[in-house]
């Protein structure tokens, strides 16, 4: 039924429609479901005590300024701390290269505001982070997908895609959301060289790079780009805009993230942010600084890695034990997700409907492809369920896939929806 509001909404809302998958995922929030669907960090690793202490200290010692409006680019000591912390990962920058955003999600939106005209093409990995597509759909972006394999974006296919004249390349080199895969060094170099040759900037989204459970840290694209240009100065002026966040290394409820970019891009993003929210919550920035200064972040990251490594291993072990023939999955070296491919003839959105009946959930892979595809794929999150629940959930999913494989129906049209969905 038409409501009196219908004709008032802006055209851009047409690109923000609700999807079957989003409707289905609402059911995964019920507490009796073992959900591998969200991208949530484990609440047991939130440093609650440290936050309690820091809040008290900030209020006692800096109360009035912590509760006041702040600058749009962010609290300087926090930006300085980020510049110091980044250096540990080889990112050599000054606070002029850094701005604070209300989550990396806001940074993606601000990039849309400053770069994307309706119809502009963005080169993305297929599959890619759904939140970026949601942010940029509002600005009328179109997508040039580049296929990926177990080593991430297939850079050999990049040159052809670059001929479409994209505004920028969006890439998640470490433990990608949704696939969990990592782009190796040679492909990173190829990416930088091609982007430079075609004069196309790179947006590197890296929420998970610090959460590595095995293997050697690989230099970020921003670091490689800096070296490629032979820059000896410390203020970065290269071709990459780098995003990272406190969501996965401290707590997502803070809504605190940062952008590293050439100062002129930072200035434009700051202008755009003024119109969005003036600045990120001052109090949260003071508290994050208080918690993070003095080396706590490094210690805390070690703890998170321990907890998530175990969960990843439990999930990989359970997949080995319970998933039937004809299925396959990635082996992420870090991050929060792995990517499953199920039997060719199955459609994972249909499988999700049945899985919800058995109280287990995942995200169908299809949602992460900007132009469709991936019907028989799924994203599985391993950070937010206990090891016992991971084993049980994968057991249930494996049994379901086994049964569906045996029944060998070409399609599951007419499969029973949970009553509420239907």
Ligand X SMILES: Cc1ncc(COP(=O)(O)O)c(C=O)c1O
Residues that bind ligand X (CB under 6 A): 39, 103-105, 129, 131, 172, 177, 205, 207, 245, 247, 252, 257
Q: Which residue is nearest to ligand X (CB)?
A: 103
CB of 24 to ligand X, least distance (A): 19
Instruction: Name which of 254 and 404 has its Cβ closer to ligand X.
Output: 254
The crossing angle, in degrees rounded to 10, of helices 48-66 and 282-292 is 130
Nearer to ligand X, 322 or 368 (CB): 368
Q: Quote the tokens at residue 22.
A: 């989003």
Query: Residues of 221-250 as b/e, b for ≥16 C-beta within 10 angstroms?
Result: bbbbbbebeeeeeeebebbbbbbbbbbbbb
Residue 404 per-residue DSSP state: H
Q: How far is the CB of 21 from ligand X (least distance, A)?
A: 16
**Shortest approach of ligand X to residue 164 CB, angstroms?**
23
Q: Where are the beta strands (DSSP E) in 154-263?
A: 168-171, 202-205, 240-245, 257-260
Cβ 258 to ligand X, closest distance in Å? 9
Sign of the CA dihedral running 303, 210, 149, 380: positive
Minimal distance, residue 52 CB to ligand X, in Å: 22
CB 128 within 8 Å of CB 366: no
Token digits for 251? 């707590």
Helix (H) or strand (E) holding 296: helix 296-322
Q: What angle do CA 234, 241, 13 make, to 5 degrees?
A: 155
- Asked, as a colleague might, if the bond just before 178 is cis with ω within 30 of 0, I would say yes
When the beta carbons of 81 and 172 are compared against ligand X, the nearer one is 172
Phi-psi region of 417 (alpha: psi -120 to 50; beta: other; left: phi over 0): beta
Tokens found for residue 414: 């007419």
Q: In the complex with ligand X, which residue's Cβ is closer, 29 or 156? A: 29
Give 28's Cβ-side CA count (13 Å radius).
26
Closest CA to 36 of 46, 21, 25: 25
Nearer to ligand X by Cβ, of 245 and 348: the residue is 245
CB of 381 to ligand X, least distance (A): 10
Provide the minimum distance between the beta carbon of 205 and ligand X in the complex, in angstroms, as a whole number: 5
Nearer to ligand X, 212 or 391 (CB): 212
| Beta-sheet pairing, 328-329 with 337-341 | antiparallel
List, in sequence order, the alpha helices (H) in 199-295.
221-228, 263-277, 282-292
Nearer to ligand X, 257 or 287 (CB): 257
User: Shortest approach of ligand X to residue 226 CB, angstroms?
Assistant: 22
**In the bound complex, what is the minimum distance in angstroms from residue 252's beta carbon to ligand X?**
5
- In the complex, the smallest distance separating the C-beta of residue 213 from ligand X, rounded to whole angstroms, is 17
Shortest CB 174 distance to ligand X, Å: 10
Residue whose CB is less far from ligand X, 103 or 262: 103
Q: Read off the DSSP letter of residue 207.
A: S
Judged by beta carbon, residue 258 or residue 283, the one nearer ligand X is 258
Which token pair is 47?
Answer: 């440093």
**Short-list 404, 399, 332, 369, CA closest to 148:** 369
342: its two tokens: 């199920």
DSSP, res 370: T
| Beta-ladder partners of 35 | 361
Q: Report the distance separating Cα 223 and Cα 296, nearest Å.
A: 24
């Amino acid at each position: 039924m038409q409501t009196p509001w219908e004709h008032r909404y802006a055209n851009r809302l047409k690109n923000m429609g609700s999807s079957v998958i989003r409707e289905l995922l609402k059911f995964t929030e019920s507490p009796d479901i073992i959900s591998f669907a969200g991208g949530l960090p484990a609440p047991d690793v939130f440093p609650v005590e440290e936050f309690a202490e820091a809040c008290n200290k900030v209020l006692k010692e800096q109360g009035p300024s912590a509760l006041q409006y702040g600058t749009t680019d962010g609290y300087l000591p926090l930006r300085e701390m980020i510049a110091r912390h980044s250096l540990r990962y080889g990112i050599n920058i000054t606070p002029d290269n850094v701005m604070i955003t209300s989550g990396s999600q806001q940074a993606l939106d601000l990039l849309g505001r400053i770069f994307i005209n309706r119809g502009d093409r963005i080169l993305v990995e297929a599959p890619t982070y759904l939140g970026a597509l949601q942010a940029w759909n509002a600005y009328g972006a179109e997508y040039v997908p580049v296929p990926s394999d177990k080593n991430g974006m297939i850079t050999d296919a990049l040159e052809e895609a670059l001929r479409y004249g994209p505004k920028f390349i969006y890439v998640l080199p470490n433990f990608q959301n949704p696939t969990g895969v990592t782009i190796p060094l040679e492909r990173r170099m190829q990416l930088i060289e091609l982007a430079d040759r075609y004069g196309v900037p790179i947006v590197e989204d890296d929420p998970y790079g610090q959460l590595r459970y095995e293997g050697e840290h690989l230099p970020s694209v921003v670091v490689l780009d800096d070296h490629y240009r032979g820059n000896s100065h410390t203020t970065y002026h290269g071709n990459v805009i780098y995003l990272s966040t406190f969501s996965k290394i401290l707590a997502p409820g803070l809504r605190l993230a940062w952008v590293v970019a050439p100062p002129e891009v930072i200035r434009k993003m700051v202008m755009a942010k003024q119109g969005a929210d003036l600045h990120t919550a001052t109090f949260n920035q003071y508290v994050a600084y208080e918690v993070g200064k003095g080396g706590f972040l490094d210690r805390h990251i070690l703890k998170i890695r321990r907890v998530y490594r175990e969960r990843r291993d439990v999930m990989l072990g359970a997949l080995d034990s319970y998933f039937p023939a004809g299925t396959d999955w990635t082996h992420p070296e870090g991050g929060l997700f792995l990517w499953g491919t199920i039997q060719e003839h199955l459609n994972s959105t249909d499988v999700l409907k049945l899985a919800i009946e058995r109280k287990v959930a995942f995200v169908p892979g299809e949602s992460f492809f900007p132009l469709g595809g991936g019907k028989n794929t799924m994203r599985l999150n391993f950070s937010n369920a206990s090891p016992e629940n991971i084993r049980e959930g994968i057991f249930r999913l494996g049994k379901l896939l086994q049964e569906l494989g045996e029944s060998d129906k070409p399609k599951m049209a007419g499969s029973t929806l949970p009553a509420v969905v239907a």
